[in-house]
Structure 1
């Protein structure tokens, strides 16, 4: 419901200031390239704009999150920004297997994410190199989210961002004791409870903390199964005098998700968008594994893979951090964060490709994962005359284990099938397929300076050095399954001593500014187990040794230039950008999704060009209208060779990413009432590298309304909220590429989006 949170209007100044717009406040970003330090604490409905920065940036505050249905992922809200494409099969963006985000054509594994100063890696489904923000913090406890669409600052602690960065900031405990209770009901038996208690300042030193808990259950919108989420957050803040603050944060998350079935376009056309797995009909899955099809599966081009009995993802995660922020001298600040993250996961599929020892034609394939990451991020800032110097380091150790086993399913009528909600004891497996252990050390150093050449002209220049070394080891190998007596293991290092960034911001007039930025980034190597689509997953030891000699990490040069304007009635932005990739590594998906294998191929260069235009009109009488248009063309520069011949991919559009996007939102605010309606258009998205199969374009409309009744006795704010997702009940393909991308043709890597959904919420502050 917030007005124009993406406008690009601000003063180019050296410190935070506030200015009023027609119906919102604007907090101006610090001059120069924005830092990874969180924005100054302020009222939660303050809008933060990207003005004054040498890069295109935008910040969405907690007010925008509150306008969405409670439990909605913070990443889903970002889909309203220019060039941001968020994909999810469920209305909340909470079902993690289906969630994908791209920014200006950069895929999720090419972006960088942080929570406060905690690196979240690339936030992919498996936690090899990070952790999803949905598991790191309850969405209601997010104060703001800042997106740098082109490239993050050199200070950003990330080893994956070839392109943009997304930074989430947690809210602080409130100064006054109180609490919040929130209850949501809705479609698919959605039931979500959120509760938070704030201590307020406990003593003269300002000690304060909050604790918060969220519990959610909701049925899938098609098929059967209930997804269950529990999460706990706590944060303590302790000031020491006027110049030092210590804070500590804790998160616990427990998630149990039953999967939607991945579909191909052939399955969608033949069986319909509501086709899903057989669960809980074990008999139908059992007979399908025997070649007896009762739902029309035999009319498709692959009846055996049309559906499985069930699949699920079980995750339990812990996040902890402690931060010391202090002034160490005139104009000098030092901020250091130490963090620890522990992840445990169990992913299941019931496969018809491997029979159980008892003769049942099905077995459960279970993949275990577990990891511990420990790290420290330390940054020093010195403001001296016309300069603003920044330097700092980041170190992280990541220990990660991944393995896969098979578990016995019962004969039909002779017992209950294995539950997709339960972690299986590894001792009960009848076949151990493979197991890996990875250890990764990351070190990053950065140095940059923002120099104010003139009061209205500033130059930002700096660099970072990045070194990432990963070593793999084999825990166990079953030659009967992998076909190899020994699986390859060893180390790969991605390093770059000098990754530069230079940017300029020129404030032409009080309300008009130009900016330009160029940067180079490198991404470290992905790692995962046997045949899982990483350089470490190759099956041949000789091929792995060849990769150790010849493989080079992906790099990208990113250029962007833009114009921001601000008027009393209008905020506008125009940006053009270009990216040149080198050593682009493609993961080629092959085989059926449950018996799949993937190869990694260096295809050389990729060229990306794009354009963004956005603006917000501030009408009288409490109305604003936001629109953005974005165009992106990302094509491969070279053909590449495989063992089967030449792949003519040159000039083809990158899969999974739409060429055209349009976003629109009309917002109305009057006293305690607010409402908005937003429209999202996305053009077609290819699933294959040869651009022969695509998900069609779509329009999706959402509606939200909220009324705050104000104070009733000890209740400070009693509010009712109503949200409608997919208002026009469109049939559409939400997700493309969740199972990877083939060279050419159809693939089981699509997920339809949810139909119209209704959600109602009552909340109260105390």
Structure 2
């Protein structure tokens, strides 16, 4: 059964359509999941030893125009996807499970390009919705079971989610759609197809803009995205060029923390405080400072760990591109090679109470910190409050020290924490397919070099210039950081080789066997180490060094017997 869902009162109006729908296919399709025709919304196949379910473009957009690929597949059996926004774009609040496997145990690709493990703030990829505009998705293939040998992923223990972009159309045309709805929703999509030109060439360029207010606070989620694709197809082979750009800002929903006492234990009223939501105050700076925070930047003690931040958001910018050539070496031999690159820079931002971060801030901003007895350092959410065990300070001295820390962070009682990201990936994927009658043999490899950096930085919030503290500006663009707590660099080389044979033993019986290698060489360093005492639970520096993971023979085998054409 196909189940349709609607997450908001959305109206999609086709302003101008002069070409057919975009439910096209790409030659990069996985062999176990043939592209569904336009009359089929969901197609289940088991042509190899793994079942696969494909959702076509028309069905994807029917759920909600602009929906993310991962949100779209939640309609399938065995898939659970949880997110905080109707489109499934918000990544911090997202979780996915497929037949019991968690998100970071699955493999993800777009036109065969690896997208990483989809962990929030990961080091090795980007989400499918950032890799391709939703309206340009031709289909999504969900392959369940054990990991596919040919998938360019080192996390696909439990299956893959493959997204395929549509090909340019053969006729010149323009598509433009506008979606409007509640919560100030507006999504605009425009695509221009050149049609076939120069004999065997075709291309398109497209763009999308999305804007929608969060359901329980005044944060605008969305951004801009652009795609371009070129295809040259002749009897010798097929050349495909693809480019994606996106710039997204996603204000986040803060999660509620639930306290569970130990067996026979009890919980205090503060521990049991569990609000249904914790909406941000932004842009009400005056109320947040004057009515919610104390003058020293502490949040209400009755709320415990479920305090409210001023705002939090994820800011991401990506450039992704690939060039693929599918060479027809003979009638039965095809060689496909893809080179790709991906650059990402982004920031995860939290602007909130200084008191909740005082154990870090004091280590860097209090001139007396190094000589201050350990039992006189401020506890969490207790800026300016003399610890009971402290005898080296008076209450007045502790209060004055707390006030100085407020002044050092902008005088507002707030402080902004960021995790800032950089990812630079380059890779090559190549596969040779031989059709030898009853046998289809494939040999392939994937190599990727990944250079990535993360910075943990802290910024002041100027009481006289609250407009500079907003989810829509990168903190580093507004002011220099107060301090960088740590910086982590990693250089990772990944090599994956595979060989597999798919044997049509009988009309009803398919046997597949093969193996792959999985090798990683990682070198991680921390050019900036945190100060002692500024990172909870850390007594020394953050660990550095090299880790090499080499598994040269990982076999896989399976068989499928077709009893009656569909069982």
TM-score by length of 1: 0.59
1:237 equivalent among 231, 236, 243: 231
SS at match of 1:176: coil
Structure-2 residue corresponding to 1:720: none
- Does structure 1 residue 201 correspond to structure 2 residue 224? no
Q: Is 1:257 aligned with 2:250?
A: yes
For 1:332 and 1:43, the matched residues in 2 are separated by 29
Deviates more, 1:99-108 or 1:208-217: 99-108
Contact in 2 for aligned 1:470/1:491 (Cα 8 Å):
yes
Structure 1 residue 372, shift from structure 2 partner: 0.5
2:446 counterpart residue number: 394
Q: Secondary structure at the match of 1:123?
A: coil
Stretches of structure 1 that go unaligned for 5 or more consecutive residues are 5-26, 513-563, 565-766
Aligned counterpart, 1:325: 326
- Aligned 8 A contact 1:432 1:477 in 2: no
Q: Which residue in the other structure is 2:215 paired with?
A: 221
Contact kept in structure 2, 1:286 and 1:361, CA below 8 Å: yes
Cα offset, 1:289, TM superposition: 3.9
Aligned length: 479
* Alignment match, 1:458: 510
Distance 2:453 2:257 in 1: 31
- Per-residue deviation at 1:38? 8.0
Question: What are the superposed Cα offsets for residues 691-749 of structure 1, whole Å, 9 maximum, x if unpaired?
Answer: xxxxxxxxxxxxxxxxxxxxxxxxxxxxxxxxxxxxxxxxxxxxxxxxxxxxxxxxxxx
Q: Which residue of 1 aligns with 2:392?
A: none
State the partner residue of 1:311: 312
Q: Please give the alpha-carbon distance, in whole angstroms, between the structure 2 residues aligned to 1:76 and 1:345.
A: 22
| Displacement after TM superposition at 1:228 (Å) | 2.5
Q: 1:332 to 1:48 in 2, by over 3 A?
A: farther
Distance 1:276 1:41, change over 3 A: closer
Which deviations, in whole Å up to 9, do the C-alpha atoms of 1:179-201 show, x marking residues without a partner?
Answer: 11100011101011001111110
Q: Secondary structure at the match of 2:288?
A: helix
Q: Residue 294 of structure 2 aligns with which residue? A: 290
Conserved? CA contact 2:183–2:214, under 8 Å: yes
Distance 1:180 1:290, change over 3 A: same
List gaps (5 residues or longer) in structure 2: 5-23, 260-269, 359-404
Partner SS state of residue 343, structure 1: strand
1:115-155: CA deviation from partner (whole Å, max 9, x where unpaired): 01201111222140211011100011011111112123211
SS in 1 for 2:115: strand
Q: Give the C-alpha shift of residue 400 in structure 1.
A: 0.2
How far 1:416 sits from its partner (Å)?
4.3
Q: Does 2:153 align with 1:150? A: no
Instruction: Kindly name which structure, 1 or 2, has the bigger radius of gyration based on alpha carbons.
Output: 2
Q: CA deviation at 1:345?
A: 0.4
1:491 and 2:546 aligned: yes
Higher relative contact order (CA 8 A, sep 6+): 1
Find out whether 1:64 has 2:59 as its counterpart: yes
Task: Look up the match of 2:11.
Answer: none
**Counterpart contact for 1:44–1:63, Cα < 8 Å:** no
Distance 2:184 2:172 in 1: 33
Partner of residue 15, structure 2: none
| Mapping for residues 727-742 of structure 1, pairs under 5 Å | none
1:685 alignment counterpart: none
Q: 1:236 & 1:174 partners in 2: Cα distance?
A: 10
Report whether the alignment pairs 1:172 with 2:167: yes
Q: CA 1:52/1:323 → structure 2, altered by over 3 Å: closer, same or farther?
A: same
**Alignment of structure 1 residues 173-188 onto 2, 5 Å:** 173-188=168-183
Written as runs of structure 1 = structure 2, the 5 A alignment for 1:281-680 is: 281-287=284-290, 288-290=292-294, 299-300=302-303, 302=304, 305-352=306-353, 353-354=357-358, 355-356=405-406, 357=408, 358-411=410-463, 416=467, 418-425=469-476, 428-480=480-532, 481-482=534-535, 486-509=541-564, 511-512=565-566, 564=567
Secondary structure of 2:475's match? Answer: coil
Tell me whether 1:163 sits opposite 2:155 in the alignment: no
Distance 1:137 1:38 in 2: 20
Query: Matched residues in 2 for 1:494 and 1:438: separation?
Result: 15
The 3 A distance-change label for structure 1 pair 476 and 298 is closer
Distance 2:41 2:320 in 1: 28
The separation in 1 between residues aligned to 2:216 and 2:32, in whole angstroms, is: 42
In structure 2, the partner of 1:126 is 121
Please report how far the alpha carbon of residue 305 of structure 1 lies from its aligned counterpart in structure 2 after TM superposition: 4.0
The 1:390/1:188 distance shift into structure 2, 3 A limit, reads: same
TM-score under structure 2 normalisation? 0.79
